[in-house]
Amino acid sequence: MNREVLSRDTPSRPAAVTPRPARRNRRGPRRRASRAGARNARATAAFTLPFFALFGLCFLAPIGYALHQSLFTTERTGPLGLGGQEREVFAGLANYAHALADDRFLTGFGRVLLFGAVQIPLMIVLATALALLLESASARAVPFFRSAFFLPYGVPGVIASILWGFLYVPGISPLVKIAGAVGWDLDFLSRGTVLWSIANIVTWQFTGYNMLVLIAQLKAVPGELYEAARIDGANAWQVARHIKLPLIRPALVLTGVFSIIGTLQLFAEPMVLRPLASAIDSGFTPNLHAYSEAFVGNNQHAAAAEAVLLALVACVLSFGFLRLAGGRAKEHG
């Protein structure tokens, strides 16, 4: 990832046509640095400090604090461990061991991974299909459809969940009513279906956004490429399969990574649907588990350990995915 970003330091447009002028950049800054080094240093600090100070406070400090918290536990010194003074005691990895031995926490992880394994590919295939359809020559009313597909992205997760919740609940839902009228007993909130009902909410919200990212990349493909393929006798499907898809690979990787991160954070949807679906318990997703550990179980230390584990898994998965997909993309490019 870093290398790709570095290569963008040079203006990207000429780089696509001529060999990359990598050397030029190196000469300029050095000459300047010797001339106005001190002024530069002061300006650099003034420009970067505000961001990095807050970044430290909101990203690095909490991670450090969580790591620290996760290594301690609260001990009560009163009789029978009740009342009395509270004391922080070093616990080593006990909180992690506790989390990893907790069936519900692990089940939650498994559930979220299963969710991601099904929902992310489905959503990205749908987004790609819609992007290709909208960009194909046979599409009409493109601006209308594009806006319609993108609209749900403007609906916050909580509102989307409230909204779909009403469409799932038997008493109100017109969907259940229609299905019932034709003799189909739909239950969106049962133990077996509720996870996929949540997957539907997430898909509904984010397909249009991903589609827009893919369309932007499709637009960056030079039109002559399509013309050439068409003259060679390729049909619409072959152009999509052999030219468009390989070229939007970077955008697919990007949407994939953001989807993985998003999936691991799954919280608002199950939280909002919880009062409607008894199948959703306090450990339904790892995030929900950590939240209830902190605010219901009142165990900050265990919650900190779970938050650390969650961040770790997210990093491993998204870096792994970047490696896998990015590495292969580089071979192609």
Shortest spacing between CB 165 and another protein, in angstroms: 8
Shortest spacing between CB 151 and another protein, in angstroms: 6
Closest to another protein by CB, 29 vs 84, is 29
Gap between the Cα atoms of 285 and 262, Å rounded: 12
Closest to another protein by CB, 25 vs 78, is 25
Gap between the Cα atoms of 124 and 131, Å rounded: 10
Residue 8 DSSP class: T
Closest to another protein by CB, 114 vs 315, is 315
Closest to another protein by CB, 130 vs 195, is 130
Shortest spacing between CB 125 and another protein, in angstroms: 13
Closest to another protein by CB, 195 vs 254, is 254
Shortest spacing between CB 67 and another protein, in angstroms: 9
Shortest spacing between CB 54 and another protein, in angstroms: 5
Residue 78 DSSP class: S
- DSSP letters for 89-120: EE-TTHHHHHHHH-HHHHHHHHHHHHHHHHHH
Shortest spacing between CB 80 and another protein, in angstroms: 27
- DSSP letters for 215-280: HHHHHTS-HHHHHHHHHTT--HHHHIIIIIHHHTHHHHHHHHHHHHHHHHT--HHHHHHTTT-TT-
Closest to another protein by CB, 89 vs 216, is 216
End-to-end CA distance of the chain: 14
Gap between the Cα atoms of 104 and 134, Å rounded: 43
